[in-house]
Amino acid sequence: MELADMAKRIVDDHFAGREELREKLNALGVTRRHLTELFEKKYDLTLEQYVAQVRLRRAKELLDEGSRITDAAFAVGMESSASFSTFFKKLEGITPSEYAAQRASKRPCCFCETPLGLVRIAEDNQGISLLKFTDSVPDPMQAGQKGLYLADAEKQILEYFAGKRRTFDIPLSIRGSEFQETVWNALRTIPYGETRSYQQVAQMIGNGKASRAVGMANNRNPILIMIPCHRVVGKDGKLVGYAGGIERKERLLELEREAEK
């Protein structure tokens, strides 16, 4: 096998580990300059350019799968999310978060009319990834999309609003920071018709001083109702903060209280 081909295989196998990659390439027994010349002559790009392409391709695969940006960064050998963002934008023209948002907008989705307004539901290959209220008129090309979970999700949401469903048994694809995911999973344990304060949720996750951070995570919940962030209230029971609006939060709690009678 030619040296250039050997170098290519080494990059494919070890691109994420900078030190390991360097050691493997040095073990070929030629200078880095000579190896780069051989590689460029055969593949019409430098060794460094090829390494960058492999890293970018793998990073995009991970983001497409729903990986967090920090996880994707470390998986492709980047030292921080900031350096990963700079690297990604230089090669792709957009940041990792912009890329992930674009990909998310193309996922299968449907629109469901509820007593509190229109909701948009989206999925990825692992489950429901988005449920939010929207005032936007649905795109006819999107409104009737089929997916693995959309029909069941719409059915269960309508059952919830009819007072016939208290829990959801549909897979959710929860994607956020480690802390956000911990909070969102804790919210799913709050019983139907009950509420918890931000401080109580903080205590539920073992960090009683994180009330403020819990509030921020609560507000960034991407899957409303199914992850019941509407059941989290202020310490004095006051209704504060809800991505769908305070009026909707109040009506959701009223719906659950009435169904419990």
Active site residues: 229
- The phi and psi torsions of 16 (rounded to 5 degrees) equal -80, -20
CA of residue 87 relative to chain centroid, distance? 20
**Strand partners of residue 128:** 123, 172
Tally Cβ neighbours within 10 Å of residue 145: 15
Is there a contact between 244 and 132 (Cβ–Cβ < 8 Å)? yes
Instruction: Give the three-class secondary structure for 17.
Output: coil
At 176, the amino acid letter reads G
Q: What gap in Å lies between CA 166 and CA 78, rounded to an integer?
A: 44
Q: What does the H/E/C string look like for 130-144? A: EEEECCCCCCHHHHE
Q: What gap in Å lies between CA 17 and CA 11, rounded to an integer?
A: 10
176-212 burial code (b ≥16 CB/10 A, e <16):
eeeebebbbebbeebeeeebbbbbbbbbbbeeeebbe
Nearest to 172, CA basis, from 133, 222, 132: 222
